[in-house]
Structure formats: C-alpha cells, structure tokens
Copies of this chain bind each other. A is one copy, B any other.
Amino acid sequence: MRHAVVLAGGSGTRLWPASRQARPKQLLPLGVGGETLLESAIRRGQAVAGTRVIVVTAASQVAATREVVPGVELIAEPLARNTAAALGLAAAVLLERDRDAVLTVLPADQHVADEPGLTRILHTALAAVEQDDVISTIGISPTHPETGFGYLEVDYVALGIVTSVRRFVEKPDRSTAEAYLASGRYLWNAGMFCMSARRLLAELDAHLPATARAVRDIAAGRIAAADVYPTLASISIDHAVMERAKRVVTVPAAVGWDDVGSWAALPALHGVDDHGNTITGQAVLIDGSGNIAISDDETLITMVGVSDVVVVKSGNAILVIPKSRAQDVRKIVEALSVRGLARYL
C-alpha cells in the first residue's frame, strides 16, 4: 500500500527569529491562510496515501508537533541523525506492518503552489515504483539559476514524463547554475521521492549496513532507539543511497515549488502588495518597496525609506536584514550561541 513519510526534523535556524529550537520552521504558520508548512506537507501526502501518513520528527519536537497535527502518527527520533536514518526508521516501522509499503517522502518545510499538479506528478512517480521498483524522484523544472539547491541531470526534460537520472549534482556555483539552466537538462532536487520500503532498506543494507541493522532492530522492538541512535552515521539519504543507487528516475514537474529556505522566499508564498511589499501582521511601510515585514503579534512594524529589507518580529527578538543576505541569518544564530544569548535561540 501507499504510505507518505513527512520528514519534520528541522532544527530551525534559517527562519530565525520565527523558527527556534523549540519551534522549527515546519511548525510556523507560514502557509496560505496561516497553515503551517507541516500541515501543507501532510495534505500533500494524504492526496496520494490517504490516511496513511506518518511524520518523522525529533523527540524534542514531539509535543509541539502533536499540538499542530494532533491526529497524525509520529515517529520520534531520540536525536537528529539526518535523513538516511530518519527514512530508514520510517521504512522499517512501516515494513513491520505492510511488507509491500511504497513510500512517498515529503520534506515538511516546503511550499507548493500547484498542489493538484504535484499530486498528478506523484501518482506518475508511484506508478513507476509499483511497476518497476525504481527510485522515483521529483525533479523541479528550474525557474532561475539557483545556487542553493542540488540538481538532477537528465537526458531530456518533458514535464510529467518519467526519465532516468544520469547523476545527482551538488549545489553549483553561479556560473554552473546558469549553464545548468541554459542546458535544459537539469532539474532541482526537491528532496521528494517515491520508493518501496523494502528497496529503501535493501539500499541501506548495501550502503549503510549499521543504520539498516539499527532501524530494523528498533522497529522490531529488539533495542531502544535512544541506545543506538547516537552511534548512527549522520548522513543524508541523497549521499547514502540516491547517488549510488541504480534505476533512479525522476518526474519533471513545474508546480510552483519552493523550499522556504529563507525569509526571501516569503513573497512567493504570500504575494506582494501594490508597492511590492510582503506584510504579515501589523505594519506601515512608507517610501519603500520589495520589503518583507512580519510581526507575530500586535507589535507594529514601521519602515520609512528602505527597500528590499526583511524585518521580522517574533517572540523576544527582531531581525533586520537585506533580502539579498537572508541566508546570513545563520550568522546571528551562531553569534547568539557564542555570546551566551541562547535564550533567544
């Protein structure tokens, strides 16, 4: 049967100060109508797997996650060990109850504008898995020379048509990204894919045997996760499996996908007003455009004479940063640790 696995283990720094250690990105009400990104991801999973959606999260985030999605099954990892362990554990747990489990893996911190379009793409990817036991990724048709994503190289791109993946490539530099875009043969690796649970564990047996053994033991109740998890390699499913596996295909998609990697992604989610500004909460912006103003309570944000600047008030902290440097929020997060200001993390 088809199952969806939503990966919700984010640690929450790139959208600081809204995202915090105790309230990662996917639990923020950033979606349309105030929906959390996690709820959006679960809905995308339900569109292909019905009620068989399972969320993998960190034990430290279980309470906060349950508050947001009380009806959804959770798998709690005692600590984060990247996606190979998380997906291995989910696959092992689901295999215990369904030897024919086919997984649709969905990161919890993404935005998709065209949900019905994505559902059609996922159905195509699942059909390929169910017929040929391939690994079927979703390849996003790139809209600009993004340097923040990995890419999939293919022979040709036809939207919605399954094609083989020649190779996975890491985040490129700017000129490489431009060449990728111009070639028409590269797709963004969105981290969404479909694969049978049995194959996923077989791939881990081959490439990451200690993790494969551990997650099987945990799922069968032979060992406590907390006892073995600290020993597991912290490695992504891409590095551990995808880049080494045979018979990996992709379904090219143009569905308004964004990974909500920084505050600069907000206009794509929420749109802009007549002045090109994106506002959530109370704000008065004068003589400026391209700004993002986000306030999580009744605190009023005012801006005069600045453009392309992000201002976020969330809880006990305020962030002011040019949109072009939105990735550098991590510098603040690092500085807070170093300066003994962890109460703001």
Interface residues of A (CB under 8 A from B): 17, 282, 284, 286-287, 295, 298-306, 309, 311, 313, 316-322, 325, 328-329, 331-332, 335-336, 339, 341, 344
Given A284-B339, A335-B286: A318 and B299 interface contact (C-beta under 8 Å): yes
Contact in complex: B298, A322 (CB < 8 Å): no
Bound-complex Cα distance A316 to B309 (A): 21
A300 in complex: contacting residue of B322, B329, B341, CB < 8 Å: B341
For A341, list chain B residues within 8 Å (CB).
Answer: 282, 284, 300
B316 touches A320 (CB 8 A): no
Most chain B CB within 10 A, of A319, A320, A336, is at A320
Closest residue on chain B to residue A305 by CB atoms: B325
> A288 → chain B, closest Cβ, in Å?
9
Q: Are B306's CB and A321's CB within 8 A?
A: yes
Q: A218 CA to B341 CA in the complex, in Å?
A: 57
A335 CA to B302 CA, complexed, in Å: 10
Nearest CB to that of A284 among chain B residues?
A: B335
Q: A164 to nearest B CB, angstroms?
A: 42
| CB <8 Å contact, A309 and B300 | no
Contact between chains at B325 and A300 (CB < 8 Å): no
A selection of 17 A-B contacts at a CB cut-off of 8 Å is A282-B341, A284-B341, A286-B328, A286-B332, A287-B331, A299-B318, A300-B317, A300-B344, A301-B318, A302-B317, A302-B318, A302-B320, A304-B322, A304-B331, A306-B322, A311-B320, A313-B313
- Complex CA gap A286/B320 in Å reads 10
Name the one of B301, B305, B322, B325 contacting A322, with C-beta atoms under 8 angstroms. B305
Residue from A300, A302, A331 whose CB has the most chain B CB atoms within 10 Å: A302
Q: A298-B316, A332-B284, A341-B284 are in contact. Are A321 and B303 (CB under 8 A)?
A: yes
A321 pairs with B304, CB closer than 8 A? yes
In the bound assembly, the distance between CA atoms of A341 and B281 in angstroms comes to: 13
Enumerate chain B residues within 8 angstroms of A331, measured Cβ to Cβ. Answer: 286-287, 304
> Which residues in B have their C-beta under 8 angstroms from that of A336?
284
Residues of B within 8 A of A299 (CB): 316-318
A291 to chain B, nearest CB (A): 9
Contact at B317–A320, with CB atoms within 8 Å? no
CA distance in complex: A301, B318 (Å): 5
Interchain CB contact under 8 A, B316 and A329? no
Asked whether, in the complex, the Cβ of B339 is within 8 Å of the Cβ of A302, the reply is: no
**Do A320 and B300 touch (CB < 8 A)?**
no
A54-B25 Cα distance, complex, nearest whole Å: 56
Chain B residues within an 8 Å CB radius of A309: 306, 320
Minimal Cβ-Cβ distance residue in B for A299: B316
Tell me the minimal C-beta distance from A43 to chain B in angstroms: 33
Which partner residue on chain B sits nearest A311 by CB separation? Answer: B320
Q: How far is the CB of A309 from chain B (nearest CB, A)?
A: 7
